[in-house]
A and B are shown apart, each in its own frame.
Chain A
């Protein structure tokens, strides 16, 4: 039972019908609230995908706290160290020395020298004009057998070019050392989860005789380094796109951005683009479409007219998924999102025209803190934030698309929705775990 501390008798109205909502940002910016749905991975989770690498954060203690405890909750404290910035470091300068000597001290004290170190700097170094190139030159000279990646925890730059998430997913591959390209090797990049083996994307690559590499499948640093030989890098997550472009530029890998989508047309286009990049014949996906249609019909039969709520952390394309569900008779009533990707413009317009009554709710607006978290009846939620805000125990526990892709992904999503509709979950426990699906996360 939620305990009210505000003493407010009334309930603020914060939602807007999609029919009258602006795109891509339906809500005014301002103070922000953070709901306790924590399944989305943070930069520590993502950085830990490089096997055997050690992370060192150089930040104010308050900024260190969240990341050091993320590592502890992952049972990965042995791969994590910190250098705390104090007031005197800001007031008296010497930030470069602090980083160099701090990292040196840690590397000298660790039981064994890691093959790679991710050094994270923060907003402070950015604002102080810290000479990071000098820092990394010095560290590389001191530790010639260790690779250093410059990584960033700079939330203040989230609206200044690449977001911290995009930067992290780019820097994740910055340690790959150039080597001759292998025309039979393909990398999937930038995902937190392995893409389902049953997806048309993975099957097309494997069944065409290519070796598929994915950082989520790497067990050793040497395996990670072999990703450098791929002639083709595929990104599906919007935040990974910059990483793919960087690989194309630095390692001469071809980059193809094949975004996760729930549109049959876009899925097929993406798969045909992949065929082109692989140099293999385009496949016929009519049977896959039929399977997706059957799966959606089957799910609709069980779920019926139960209100459905989705959130933007569940998938990078919440509007595409909403449209698919509406087109197949599901009763999408709410979407929780502070904003949308420009890629979703067409789906937004379709929903605005065909389902103008769907309510858009913000996630971070201050009013969301005090809005009652319940719905009049049973609601099926897709995503942790949708589950939290609707107070529903019937939810698909998924973030970032959950590794589901293509027509097969739609079948799997339909099945998960059915399962969620039929079986209650302990939302309170599940959604508060950090880094859904991350090895060792609590």
Chain B
């Protein structure tokens, strides 16, 4: 059965994606749930929880509230908390029971905004989609509502980086390294969505000449910014010297031509690769391309998460279930994946661990590499393991 997992973990959910995307921006995010989502988020999905006092809460929905209906309790309690805490914005995110009872989150947000005067968002998440979906909604909402529409493009090359959350990049300096790589390539970084930037910086995002999309969750915002500001985007993460140069070159081309592109797009390998990379489309696609650029060895991406044709790595395959994945992995001699995927890999394959916070949470956090700053160490591991 596709939905049954004997051995595997599960990815962080959409509701965590919303919270993670908005965490550093001074807003108040409320998960509309009984309890549990908040604990899961703060324990497994949010490495910044201990050190940053971001206002992320749960509505503590009760059976009575759910059965009797009406969202007034939620609205009142959020408004009361907002009055005391003065957030920059309010975001509501749904979970399974509000989905069943049909909570209209955009409507609730609109009422809240009128009542509090604070910009408010309502996200119809339901804990049944991955973090990419939730973070994507949140980033798109920022693009829609928080970016200054009167922005004037900068004279120099400039960029926003879209799609940062610790779920994909942990807190090991990766986001900062990517930013530095762009700066080294001649770009002024206007904003990083949303690690390492304030809401004020994000408001200025319309000024950038190009956007770099570093995860699937950044794509909805990139598309909206293109509509609003005619800003083209490039999809890819600068891993390894050669592929990083390609990304930077693509950014410059996009800035000058106005045409968006996916940096890791290439013709599929002529023969079946011996290496598989399991992961999110943009990260896995970039990694496969970077490995190929440095070693000449191609790798196939197996994607267990939501994706779309535009950013799906060439020659890749979707593997949404444990059964699919186990079957797909059979021909490979080497598998690069989060350690919690080990139980479904062929017993005789070479397993190269690449922990992914969105999958294994905090368990292997200390072992998550900064592939932008130190791709060489990863290549060494790949060649010697």
- From 54 to 99 in chain A, residues with beta carbon under 8 angstroms from any chain B beta carbon are 60-66, 68-69, 72-73, 77-78, 81-87, 89-90, 98
A1 partner residues in chain B, CB cutoff 8 A: 51
Verify if B37 is at the interface (C-beta below 8 Å from A): yes
B361 partner residues in chain A, CB cutoff 8 A: 65, 69, 72
In the docked arrangement, what's the CA distance between A364 and B43, Å? 15
Contact A128:B95 (CB < 8 A) given known A31-B77, A38-B43, A81-B6: no
For chain A, the count of residues having a C-beta within 8 Å of the partner chain is: 68
Cβ-defined contact, B40 with A66, below 8 A = yes
State which of A7, A62, A86, A153 has its C-beta within 8 Å of the C-beta of B3.
A86
A8 partner residues in chain B, CB cutoff 8 A: 85-86
In the docked arrangement, what's the CA distance between A114 and B127, Å? 30
Verify if A32 is at the interface (C-beta below 8 Å from B): yes
In the docked arrangement, what's the CA distance between A6 and B313, Å? 39
Cβ-defined contact, A124 with B100, below 8 A = yes
Verify if B57 is at the interface (C-beta below 8 Å from A): yes
Stretch at the interface among A143-151, A157-165, A214-222: A157-165
A97 CB → nearest B CB, Å: 10
Verify if A106 is at the interface (C-beta below 8 Å from B): yes
A292 CB → nearest B CB, Å: 36
**Chain B residue, CB-CB nearest to A77:** B7
Cβ-defined contact, A3 with B51, below 8 A = yes
- From 395 to 412 in chain A, residues with beta carbon under 8 angstroms from any chain B beta carbon are none
Cβ-defined contact, B58 with A6, below 8 A = no
Stretch at the interface among B13-21, B109-117, B266-274: B13-21
**Chain B residue, CB-CB nearest to A372:** B53
**Chain B residue, CB-CB nearest to A102:** B4
Cβ-defined contact, B127 with A366, below 8 A = no
State which of B33, B58, B62, B129 has its C-beta within 8 Å of the C-beta of A159.
B62
Verify if A155 is at the interface (C-beta below 8 Å from B): yes
Chain B 30-51 interface 0/1 with A at a Cβ cutoff of 8 Å (1 = within)? 1001111111101111000111
B164 CB → nearest A CB, Å: 16
**Chain B residue, CB-CB nearest to A66:** B40
Cβ-defined contact, B4 with A82, below 8 A = yes
Cβ-defined contact, B80 with A30, below 8 A = yes
A72 partner residues in chain B, CB cutoff 8 A: 9, 340, 360-361, 363
A127 partner residues in chain B, CB cutoff 8 A: 66, 97, 100-101
In the docked arrangement, what's the CA distance between A127 and B62, Å? 12
A346 partner residues in chain B, CB cutoff 8 A: none
In the docked arrangement, what's the CA distance between A90 and B97, Å? 10
Cβ-defined contact, B63 with A159, below 8 A = yes
Verify if A101 is at the interface (C-beta below 8 Å from B): yes
B24 CB → nearest A CB, Å: 6
State which of A32, A62, A366, A367 has its C-beta within 8 Å of the C-beta of B14.
A62
B24 partner residues in chain A, CB cutoff 8 A: 5
Cβ-defined contact, B6 with A34, below 8 A = no
Categorize the interface residue count of chain B: 35 or more
A112 partner residues in chain B, CB cutoff 8 A: none
A87 partner residues in chain B, CB cutoff 8 A: 99, 126, 128
Contact A31:B60 (CB < 8 A) given known A7-B26, A60-B96: yes
Cβ-defined contact, B30 with A31, below 8 A = yes
In the docked arrangement, what's the CA distance between A240 and B26, Å? 42
- From 59 to 113 in chain B, residues with beta carbon under 8 angstroms from any chain A beta carbon are 59-64, 66, 77-78, 80-81, 84-88, 95-97, 99-101
Cβ-defined contact, B35 with A31, below 8 A = no
Cβ-defined contact, A62 with B63, below 8 A = no
A432 partner residues in chain B, CB cutoff 8 A: 43, 50
State which of B23, B43, B55 has its C-beta within 8 Å of the C-beta of A66.
B43
B81 partner residues in chain A, CB cutoff 8 A: 30-31, 366
Verify if A36 is at the interface (C-beta below 8 Å from B): yes
Cβ-defined contact, B62 with A156, below 8 A = yes
Cβ-defined contact, A65 with B12, below 8 A = yes
Cβ-defined contact, A30 with B58, below 8 A = no
Contact A2:B52 (CB < 8 A) given known A72-B360, A81-B4, A156-B63: yes
In the docked arrangement, what's the CA distance between A1 and B128, Å? 35
A60 partner residues in chain B, CB cutoff 8 A: 13, 95-96, 126-128
Cβ-defined contact, B363 with A442, below 8 A = yes
A382 CB → nearest B CB, Å: 21
Cβ-defined contact, A84 with B5, below 8 A = yes
Cβ-defined contact, A434 with B43, below 8 A = yes
Contact A370:B14 (CB < 8 A) given known A87-B128, A123-B34, A159-B63: no
User: Quick one: which of B30, B33, B101 has the most chain A CB within 10 A?
Assistant: B33
Verify if B193 is at the interface (C-beta below 8 Å from A): no
A2 partner residues in chain B, CB cutoff 8 A: 51-53
A15 CB → nearest B CB, Å: 15
B38 CB → nearest A CB, Å: 5
In the docked arrangement, what's the CA distance between A122 and B39, Å? 16
A7 partner residues in chain B, CB cutoff 8 A: 26, 86, 88
In the docked arrangement, what's the CA distance between A83 and B25, Å? 35
Verify if A29 is at the interface (C-beta below 8 Å from B): yes
A30 partner residues in chain B, CB cutoff 8 A: 60, 77, 80-81
Cβ-defined contact, A370 with B85, below 8 A = yes
Chain A 357-398 interface 0/1 with B at a Cβ cutoff of 8 Å (1 = within)? 000000010110110000000000000000000000000000
Cβ-defined contact, B35 with A155, below 8 A = yes
**Chain A residue, CB-CB nearest to B62:** A159
State which of B5, B25, B99, B101 has its C-beta within 8 Å of the C-beta of A81.
B5
Q: Identify the A interface with B (CB < 8 A).
A: 1-8, 12, 29-34, 36, 38, 60-66, 68-69, 72-73, 77-78, 81-87, 89-90, 98, 101-103, 105-106, 109-110, 122-124, 127-128, 153, 155-160, 364, 366-367, 369-370, 428, 432, 434, 442
CB<8 Å pairs between A and B, sample of 13? A60-B13, A60-B95, A61-B127, A61-B129, A62-B37, A65-B44, A65-B45, A81-B7, A105-B4, A156-B66, A160-B64, A369-B54, A369-B55
Q: Identify the B interface with A (CB < 8 A).
A: 1, 3-7, 9-16, 23-26, 30, 33-40, 42-45, 49-64, 66, 77-78, 80-81, 84-88, 95-97, 99-101, 126-130, 340, 343, 360-361, 363
Give 3 closest A-B pairs by Cβ, nearest first.
A62-B127, A62-B13, A66-B40
Sample of 14 more A-B contacts, CB < 8 Å, known A30-B80, A81-B4: A5-B23, A5-B24, A5-B55, A7-B86, A7-B88, A32-B59, A36-B50, A65-B40, A98-B3, A106-B4, A155-B34, A159-B64, A160-B62, A367-B84
